[in-house]
Amino acid sequence: MSFRWTDFDAYLFDIDGTLLNTRDLVHYDALNAAMHEAYGVNTTIDGIQYHGKTDLGILRAALERAGINDATFTSNLPAALNAVRRNVSENSSALSPEVCCSIATVLDHLKQADKLLGVASGNLESVGWHKIAAAGLRDYFTFGCFSDNHETRAAIFGNGVAEARRRLGANATVCFIGDTPEDIRAAHRAGAAVIAVCTGVFEQAELSSLHPDLCVNSCSELLELTTSSHH
């Protein structure tokens, strides 16, 4: 049976590189300021591989590199996360995300088909919603799963599947849309379908090699698949 992307009950979208691309320094500055405030270190997340990672994972990697030990990281983490949330909230008017190609049309299409739409992101919850609101996409989404209590993307995605089934029933089918190898791996671990889009930093060849159910350059290709299937 060929894969039809419109056949699922629930769709969970990654934020960065999938729904939108960030063009400002609000989140970046907030992470750096939080490390200084909660740990007293003057360091940045520069050079940390953050694509497909969670805010918790990014902070851990940057602080480890700066010489903060695990016990200190853990004990000061709540203060650091609160600092990130507060910083992004205070500077949310400076958020200026670029919505990825055809995302609004795809969301409209799924919304009209009465699908459950959610977010599955490595962002902290309040940070993720601020970005989505700034992109003008908030009204599409019923719920979200974030990194506030989960350091791994697999845990966030597993939580997303559980939440979708809690809302729709145990047999609900779930499809993730993401732009990184981590998104594909996490969806596979959660036992869900996954569509990879090349709107982030990863190329089609790299994403395809991990065997997503579908790999498209952007969401405009999804819309072409919809129209062609009606003939």
Residue 2 maps to a domain: no
Residue 107 maps to a domain: yes
Average pLDDT over the chain reads 95
Q: Do 105 and 215 belong to one domain?
A: yes
Structural domain range at position 55: 26-94
Cα–Cα distance for residue pair 124/129, rounded to 1 Å:
9
Residue 231 confidence (pLDDT) above 50 = no
Secondary element (H or E) of residue 174: strand 174-178
Cα–Cα distance for residue pair 54/156, rounded to 1 Å:
9
Based on its alpha-carbon atoms, the radius of gyration of the chain, rounded to whole angstroms, reads: 18
Neighbouring CB atoms inside 10 A of 172's CB total: 15
What is the mean predicted confidence (pLDDT) over 151-171?
97
Q: How many CA atoms lie within 13 A of 63 on its CB side?
A: 28
Q: How many domains does the chain fold into?
A: 2
Q: Do 14 and 111 belong to one domain?
A: yes
Q: Do 150 and 214 belong to one domain?
A: yes
pLDDT digits (tens, 9 = 90+) for 95-131: 999 999 999 999 999 999 999 999 999 999 999 999 9
**What's the pLDDT score for residue 3?**
87
Cα–Cα distance for residue pair 97/37, rounded to 1 Å:
26
Q: Do 106 and 72 belong to one domain?
A: no
Place of tokens 């609101």: 133
Cα–Cα distance for residue pair 95/132, rounded to 1 Å:
10
Q: Do 169 and 185 belong to one domain?
A: yes
Q: Do 50 and 145 belong to one domain?
A: no
Backbone angles phi, psi at 52, to 5 degrees: 85, 5
**pLDDT-derived band at 227, boundaries 50, 70, 90:** low
Determine the straight-line distance between the first and last CA of the chain, rounded to whole angstroms.
18
Residue 62 confidence (pLDDT) above 50 = yes
Cα–Cα distance for residue pair 190/162, rounded to 1 Å:
9
Place of tokens 């000061």: 76
**What's the pLDDT score for residue 226?**
78
What is the mean predicted confidence (pLDDT) over 81-90?
99
Q: Do 221 and 127 belong to one domain?
A: yes
Residue 60 confidence (pLDDT) above 80 = yes
Cα–Cα distance for residue pair 69/21, rounded to 1 Å:
32
**What's the pLDDT score for residue 133?**
98
**What's the pLDDT score for residue 228?**
59
- Residue 55 sits in a domain whose CATH number is 1.10.150
Residue 220 maps to a domain: yes
Residue 201 confidence (pLDDT) above 50 = yes
**What's the pLDDT score for residue 125?**
98
Residue 9, CA distances (Å) to 81, 161, 171, 202, 219 in order: 33, 11, 9, 27, 18
Q: Which of 8, 12, 1 is nearest to 171 (CA)?
A: 8
